[in-house]
Structure 1
Amino acid sequence: MTITTLFLDIGGVLLTNGWDSHARRRAAEKFGLEGSEMDERHHLTFDTYEEGKLTLDEYLARVIFYEPREFTPQDFREFMLTQSQPFEETIAFLREIKQRHGLKVVAVSNEGRELTEYRIRTFGLGSLFDAFISSCFVHFRKPDHDIYRMALDVVQAAPDDVLYIDDRAMFVEVARSLGIHGVQYTGLEAVRQALATYGLV
């Protein structure tokens, strides 16, 4: 067995999560919002946004701007974007592994379009990844089997040739059910050790 391809999640592996419960809590505090109501509205519609079926403005209209606010959509969007921060050491390590072994590297990620495009541009992810199988582009979300199958088809890789790294245990388990090798991301050192078992360190 030789690993030729890495499938990587982005949020929770290379960057902080784009818009998780911690970021929403900070937004509620900053903008004086009722957190429980915001969270309920978020959960009712965020999957649709991540699947690329809503724009960020449409998501915000449903979750935040369904009533008059003392701040603008632009203010809120800018706050959302600044929640993304890189895990620099992990990014640098995976770049080095890609170059050393000539690997194909594919993002398999659940994220909305505007957040995805901002994160690719801001953190230079286009130079790490060969393809972005992001939920907003392909209209499937993890843990749907089809997002993993599409990633395999796009790079023409057999499941046994692929190592998938994600911070969510369920998503790793689903990938393994398709024959893809999987590692749960719990930190850079754990990834180093896991990659070493595949001869990639």
Structure 2
Amino acid sequence: MSSSSYIKTIFWDIGGVLLTNGWDRNERAEVLTRLGVDLADYESRHEEANYLWERGLSTAEQFFQVTVLNQNLNLTFEELWPQVCAESRILYPECVNILGMLATSGRYMLATLNNESRELNEHRLNAFRLRPFFDYFICSGYVHEMKPHPGIYRAAIEISGHLPESALFIDDKAENCDAAAALGMQTICFESPGQLRDELAQLGLRAA
């Protein structure tokens, strides 16, 4: 493994590492069941609509118009959206602390590299006060491509201005880490805050 002096940029996933997922199956089942939405009908529409939404090719209101608001529930987007946002929570406070310590060190550029709609991404960065930790944001809703497609990693590498070998990527999904490694990035496949701290220490990046 490369030494910490060679790592220039640390890319962080958000959902599953720092926060709960934004609108995955469990989160949407909780909200939609409470609202009386037909889940089978919703799921039949989700994948096609989500392809556009998470890539920033449609808005949140357009997404929910296609998937939920067409079910004649006497429900408006303005009523639905706060309930969607309310499902997000800090998943691992210790990971947020590690992120903060790395940011405070001033040694590395820190960036997100996550799959999320533009609206949820902006809400979550602001609501959980994550924005100040990061220098920039590589989000599928901004760059119109999703992990594990190579395009989003290439965009991250090019925007960083450094070689892929100088980038460290932290994500909780093995397939996303494998895709990053295939382009030469170093990776940590996240399992727990303790494991993350240990693997950072092995790379010479001590968050303590």
What is the TM-score of this pair, normalised by structure 2? 0.93
Give the Å deviation of 1:98: 2.9
Between the aligned partners of 1:186 and 1:57, the Cα distance in structure 2 is: 34
Give the Å deviation of 1:88: 2.2
Deviations 1:104-158 (A, max 9, x none): 1111111111101111111112211111111111111111111111111111121
Whether the 8 Å contact between 2:69 and 2:75 is mirrored in structure 1 is no
Q: Which residue of 1 is the match for residue 154 of structure 2?
A: 149
Structure 1 unpaired stretches of 5+? none
Structure 2 unpaired stretches of 5+? none
Runs of 4+ in 1 over 3 A off after TM superposition: none
Whether the 8 Å contact between 1:169 and 1:184 is mirrored in structure 2 is yes
Q: Which residue of 2 is the match for residue 93 of structure 1?
A: 98
Please say if 1:11 is aligned against 2:10. Answer: no
What residue identity is the alignment partner of 2:157? L
What residue identity is the alignment partner of 1:35? L
Whether the 8 Å contact between 2:113 and 2:139 is mirrored in structure 1 is yes
Equivalence map 1:120-159=2 (5 Å): 120-159=125-164
Between the aligned partners of 2:101 and 2:152, the Cα distance in structure 1 is: 26
Q: Which residue of 1 is the match for residue 122 of structure 2?
A: 117
Between the aligned partners of 1:39 and 1:157, the Cα distance in structure 2 is: 41
SS in 2 for 1:66: helix
Aligned identity (percent) is 31
Give the Å deviation of 1:101: 5.5
SS in 1 for 2:70: coil
What's the C-alpha RMSD, in Å, of the aligned pairs? 1.2
Equivalent in 46, 51, 62 of residue 42 of structure 1? 46
Give the Å deviation of 1:71: 2.6
Q: Which residue of 2 is the match for residue 198 of structure 1?
A: 203
Whether the 8 Å contact between 2:165 and 2:184 is mirrored in structure 1 is yes
Aligned length: 201
